Amino acid sequence: MKRVVVLDYGSGNIRSAVRMLERIGANVELTADPKLVAAADGLFVPGVGNFHACMAGLEAAGGRRLIDDRLAAGAPVLGVCVGMQVMFDGSSEPSTSPQPGLGRWPGQVERLAAPVVPHMGWSRVEPPVTTTLFAGIEGERFYFVHSFAASAQLGEGREATYAAHGERFVAAIEDEVLAATQFHPEKSGDAGAHLLTNWLRSL
């Protein structure tokens, strides 16, 4: 049984993530303990709310070092929603105490140019033909709740999946052992369970 740590740093959506990962057969721990994070087969980085508040929580919990150390060791990490956004250089989201992102991918997360924001609901995605995360669910819909997104060109070696709401934006990224989704797989029913199962099998 694969061991997955859901990183506990004060962000929301952690309980639904734990339940979904347990549903698909993972041994799940909710913690920020460095030894448990390092020993896990996979690290799930959640994120709900304001980019800068999430980054502040990550920094306070030592999340930057935990994520950096895992990636340096070639150990898988999956970020979700704002847990994906924090992998970029930064965000234009308003904040009284702006925090830089983790800088794993270039570019800024920007407010969606759409008539209605937030983007809330089910949308189809456009994965690349080489996808691992979306294998077998390429035509499915996933559940989004967000007002900001990345639209950056990510460079070679990074596989981007796209969706659209007013404009085309990055819905997921597969970058060797670092992967992320803008949508919530843990709230995306059977399609989300299938995606997380694909991730679990890759660990």
Computed over its alpha carbons, how large is the radius of gyration of the chain?
15
Spatial contact of 42 and 200, defined as CB atoms under 8 Å apart:
yes
Among 81, 119, 159, 174, the one annotated catalytic: 81
- 54 catalytically annotated: no
C-alpha dist (Å) from residue 16 to 148, 169, 174, 180, 188: 22, 25, 23, 17, 11
Among 140, 159, 174, 186, the one annotated catalytic: 186
Strand order of the β-sheet with 167-175 is 27-31, 3-7, 42-45, 77-80, 178-181, 167-175, 159-165
Nearest to 135 by CA among 179, 88, 77: 179
Among 52, 119, 165, 184, the one annotated catalytic: 184
- 186 catalytically annotated: yes
Which residues does the annotation mark as catalytic?
A: 81, 184, 186
